Amino acid sequence: ASRGPLAGRRVVITAGPTREPIDPVRYISNHSSGKMGYAMAAAARAAGAEVVLVSGPVAIAAPVGVEVRGVVTAQDMLEEAGKAVDEGCDLFIATAAVADYRPDSCAADKIKKSDEGMSLSLVRNPDTLATIAGRSDAPFTVGFAAETRDVERYALDKLTRKKLNMIVANDVSAPGLGFNSDNNAVIAFWPQGREAIGPDTKSALAQRLIALIGEHLNQKAGS
Ligand code: PMT
């Protein structure tokens, strides 16, 4: 049997961007590379957990020993994450940068350009993290928050509003950190405290975050 602070635990992690199709050749997305989520998955695995990684389209390899389930849209992510949690989950970590909106429909054929301007009609996407955290059998839930200003205020607001056990805030306005880089600096907030970690590599940050999450999870479970 594996050892470590998460031995015997089942962990589901979301990572990467989502893509919201406009037509057969175009989509709306963002700059997430998946690096933070894949680093969290590798660290959780190293801590002894069984890990399912629900991943949007990224260009990085799966960590050894981690099961990756690929998704494209925010709606796919909600469905796959829900299934993975149904299979049994002690800890849910949402690092994905999910598109908040999608085009209200995907055109069947490539949209042709004209001399006119063009506008897209967008509708809200479902929130995977809030949905999982709101379940009656909710696992220990950890969200990430990418902000460019008022990092602490917005992070604490998400902690309460989405009913999370912990939120990890990163200031993505800082150069060389956050989206797509190998490094990050974060502050983890939970209802009774906080810890600032980094700047450091995403791999080192993930190891510290997993140790911290493990302490809280094991306290909560009384084991
Ligand atoms: O992938 P990298 O290039 O390594 O970059 C890492 C990162 C910057 C993307 C990552 O560290 C990060 O901050 N992820 C959260 C991105 C974000 O914008 O979060 P948010 O503030 O929109 O959402 C808050 C939380 O709710 C997140 O845990 C998010 O995964 C979750 N969420 C949001 C919307 C939605 N529809 N479903 C969700 O599950």
Annotated binding-site residue? 157: no
DSSP at 21: E
- pLDDT for residue 1: 57
* Amino acid, single-letter form, for residue 61: A
Residue range 82-105: mean pLDDT, rounded: 98
What's the CA gap between 218 and 126, in Å, rounded? 30
Decide if the complex's ipTM is over 0.95: yes
Give the number of the atom of ligand 1 that is nearest the alpha carbon of residue 186. Answer: 11
Look over the chain and give the mean of its residue pLDDT values, rounded to a whole number. Answer: 94
Q: Which of 12, 18, 129 to mutate to test the pocket of ligand 1 (most atoms within 8 A of CB)?
A: 129
Please give the distance, rounded to the nearest whole angstrom, from the Cα atom of residue 63 to the centre of ligand 1: 20
Give the number of the atom of ligand 1 that is nearest the alpha carbon of residue 17. Answer: 1
Those residues whose C-beta lies under 8 Å from the C-beta of residue 129, and which sit 6 or more positions away, are: 14, 92, 94, 141, 143, 162, 164
Highest mean pLDDT out of 142-151, 174-183, 208-217: 208-217
- pLDDT for residue 129: 97
And the tokens for 204? 């080192």
- pLDDT for residue 180: 83
Check pocket membership of 102 for ligand 1, CB cut-off 6 A: no
Q: Which of 32, 73, 182, 213 to mutate to test the pocket of ligand 1 (most atoms within 8 A of CB)?
A: 32
pLDDT at 174 over 90: no
* Amino acid, single-letter form, for residue 63: P
Annotated binding-site residue? 137: no
Give the SS3 label for residue 85.
helix
pLDDT at 190 over 60: yes
pLDDT at 2 over 80: no
- pLDDT for residue 31: 94
Annotated binding-site residue? 104: no
What's the CA gap between 160 and 169, in Å, rounded? 14
Residue range 162-168: mean pLDDT, rounded: 95
- Residue nearest atom 5 in ligand 1 by C-alpha distance: 179
DSSP secondary structure letters along 123-185: EEPP-HHHHHHTSTT--EEEEEEEESS-HHHHHHHHHHHTT-SEEEEEETTSTTSSTTSSEEE
pLDDT at 155 over 70: yes
What's the CA gap between 131 and 134, in Å, rounded? 5
What's the CA gap between 99 and 103, in Å, rounded? 11
Q: Which of 30, 125, 165, 170 is catalytic?
A: 30
Asked whether 187 and 194 are in contact (CB, 8 A), the reply is: yes
Banded pLDDT at 222 (limits 50, 70, 90)? low
Residue range 118-122: mean pLDDT, rounded: 94
State if pTM tops 0.95.
yes
Alpha-helix residue ranges (DSSP H) falling in 92-150 = 128-133
90: how many CB neighbours lie within 10 A of its CB?
17
What are the tens digits of pLDDT across the range 33-79?
Answer: 999 999 999 999 999 999 999 999 999 999 999 999 999 999 999 99
Check pocket membership of 143 for ligand 1, CB cut-off 6 A: yes
- pLDDT for residue 74: 98
And the tokens for 50? 């069984």
- pLDDT for residue 57: 98
- Provide the CA 27 distance to its chain's centre, in angstroms: 20
Superfamily designation of domain 10-99+124-221: CoaB-like (3.40.50.10300)
Please give the distance, rounded to the nearest whole angstrom, from the Cα atom of residue 16 to the centre of ligand 1: 8
Kindly list the distances between the CA atom of residue 170 and the CA atoms of 13, 84, 182, 189, in Å, as whole numbers in the listed order.
17, 26, 13, 11
- pLDDT for residue 22: 98
* 218 catalytic per annotation: no
- pLDDT for residue 147: 85
Look at residues 88, 163, 96 and name the one whose alpha carbon lies nearest to residue 133. Answer: 163
